[in-house]
Amino acid sequence: MQQKWTALITKYTANSSLIASSWVEIAQHYTQRNRAYHNLTHLQSMFQELKQSEHQIKDLDVLEFAIWYHDLIYNSLKKDNEERSADFAKKILSQTNLATDRIEKCYQLILATKTHHARDTNDLDEKLMIDFDLEILSRDWITYKVYCQQIRKEYWMYPGPLFRKGRKQAMQHFLERPNIYQSAIYRQEKEAQARANIQREIEELL
């Protein structure tokens, strides 16, 4: 993962100190002990999804930067994680020669993972960013179950009844949406399985 990050950021800076320190910050945040799901493994999964869609992506590097930073700040007790992660990304990328409009695009891609709704229905990069983040919902049931267990660990501070109530509400929200996934290909290939998994999880939470 470090090599992957270095290969990306060195396109936009030769500052060895920034290259090294930015990786240390990424590694430290994503390997915090409180992260059972929102860790480097989650990023790896998103990059695997990205690789399969590379030919459709308009600005690949910016989407990669957004993936790296979208969960950098993660505290299950807070509701501003995405905003703080986006601010962090902007702070680092502003020290590179990445164009200002592309930094802003990265910022907006990160914020899109808060609501998981695309602001611009014509922006496929934004749609794919959201879909990569939610791809876990469409996995086989055993993998999905492990994901649920990992989320529970991240919310360990909540007693069982309170956690189940909150989790049910959050997942029910996905089912009430016209579509979970934003892009046509994900809707076609993954929507049905994601809905089936969520429905099963909700039933087991009752």
- DSSP annotation of 75 reads -
pLDDT of 146 over the 80 cut? yes
How many angstroms separate the Cα of 119 from the Cα of each of 113, 179, 182, 189, 197? 11, 14, 10, 22, 26
Whether this prediction's pTM lies above 0.95 is answered by yes
pLDDT of 119 over the 90 cut? no
In total, how many domains does the chain have? 1
CATH of the domain at 55: 1.10.1300.10
Tell me the residue range of the domain where 165 lies: 2-205
- pLDDT band, residue 206 (cuts 50/70/90): low
How many angstroms separate the Cα of 103 from the Cα of each of 53, 89, 100, 113? 21, 8, 5, 16
Q: Tens digit of pLDDT for each residue in 56-91?
A: 999 999 999 999 999 999 999 999 999 999 999 999
- Burial class of residue 22 (count of CB atoms within 10 Å of its CB; 0-12, 13-18, 19+): buried
